[in-house]
Structure 1
């Protein structure tokens, strides 16, 4: 997919969500200032950019020529939150959106047609935002999986309840060929696609956290070779470091979107 919830895979060889589904297939960022966003992520993560198909407010981030993320500078224009959002592959956006409604979640945008597929922006019962995509994936989807975020992590109140919610929406641990596997490892619910860890869900008393703005959310983890260098670059280019360890740092970009850099893929 090339841009944010209004983003779609480009023309490619067909790798469809009808055969590969339930796994994260894209990440997208809503921002306010496109130029500042490009400068920041170019400096911190080494991304290059190309213009999105949907207009001047959209960009696609590239790593070694592989599209890895979308940016849409529409937060102010569309009154949307500044945030990173993961998108999951589904065989039917309409069915998935209906399941979300039936289980107490929210359909914020869509499903809408974005040729060659359909997309929707949703929220789970705890308010964590995520997207779904139906249709062809990137033709070099396996390359995206390698160049993409290391994984995504849901910070929520009850990991098991959330795993059931997402499992019913996205057909995790079903008998369908190609579905994701769900495990409990090291105190977290772990989602695996083709053996790789692609998502984690952890429980926590989020409302009791020191930062009162923290609520259930999906955090995108990007794999980098030097966590300390990324943290320094973030501060030098208008961002901030919210937390730092030897192999991981939680960063905030100039617009306020949070993400994590990690020195390993944790797969």
Structure 2
């Protein structure tokens, strides 16, 4: 439910970490190791947590706590902030929901929340410097897409909660691209916000949600490997400059793989 360890550090208010809450840790390790080529090491939170690594770089946390905490199996993005208490107050003031926290965890503090349209996300209070999904000048190891009711309203909510457009060094800025919002952090595109989700839709793919997207070299090969290891294809689509597929792991966690290397390249022309 919370980051096992923050990623390498740079700017505030940025997407900083992605975390999978699942039920069975060994099964998740087998699936994501085979599909995404990750390796794993023990997490700082105990035996139920591991950190996934790609090429020696920490890319994600996995915690087998869905049953113990009575929460859904899901991938969740985390955003770095200076003060989790301030972020918690801002979320509630803007009709969002704080489900858990802030809690002291390792080197920081975390909370799990939902925006006013119901999309779940986490907040990580950083110590000294903030984390990012694109560490040390390397390509982003994940990027995010929020599918929500109204992209512009959502950008205002997250901007006010997280301090986007604050002008801080390494902070985030938003740009309006056609009917979407592109979020750049320290000058690098890391998230995109799209309109059109339906809050009451029975299909979770249609309801407002944060979509965690992992770049891969070959989407078709990754899809085949996922199916071979018990995953399910929920959606495949071509996008400008590439393609993407949304998958469900054997325990029910949704994630997307894409050969597009940046949310800035995924305009629907």
TM-score when scaled to structure 2?
Answer: 0.88
Which aligned segments of 4 or more residues in structure 1 are displaced greater than 6 angstroms? none
Equivalent of 1:243 in 231, 235, 238: 235
Is it true that 1:176 corresponds to 2:168 in the alignment?
Answer: yes
Quote the Cα distance in structure 2 between the aligned partners of 1:189 and 1:75. 32
Is it true that 1:93 corresponds to 2:90 in the alignment?
Answer: no
**Gap regions ≥5 residues in structure 2:** 265-269
Given that residues 44 and 234 in structure 1 are in contact (C-alpha distance below 8 angstroms), is that contact kept between their aligned partners in structure 2? Answer: yes
Quote the Cα distance in structure 2 between the aligned partners of 1:129 and 1:114. 19
Is it true that 1:109 corresponds to 2:100 in the alignment?
Answer: yes
Number of residue equivalences = 257
Alignment partner, residue 120 of structure 2: 129
**Gap regions ≥5 residues in structure 1:** none
Quote the Cα distance in structure 2 between the aligned partners of 1:145 and 1:100. 31
Given that residues 17 and 133 in structure 2 are in contact (C-alpha distance below 8 angstroms), is that contact kept between their aligned partners in structure 1? Answer: no
Kindly state the Cα deviation for residue 119 of structure 1 after the two structures are TM-superposed: 0.9
1:204-219 matches, within 5 Å, as 204-207=196-199, 211=203, 214-219=206-211
| SS at 1:55 equivalent | coil
Quote the Cα distance in structure 1 between the aligned partners of 2:67 and 2:78. 21
C-alpha RMSD of the superposition: 2.2
Instruction: Identify the range of structure 1 (243-252 vs 33-42) with the bigger mean alpha-carbon deviation.
Output: 243-252
Quote the Cα distance in structure 1 between the aligned partners of 2:199 and 2:69. 28
1:1-267 matches, within 5 Å, as 4-5=1-2, 7-9=4-6, 15=9, 20-136=11-127, 137=130, 142-143=135-136, 146-149=139-142, 151-207=143-199, 211=203, 214-246=206-238, 247-266=243-262, 267=264
TM-score when scaled to structure 1?
Answer: 0.89
Quote the Cα distance in structure 1 between the aligned partners of 2:75 and 2:253. 6
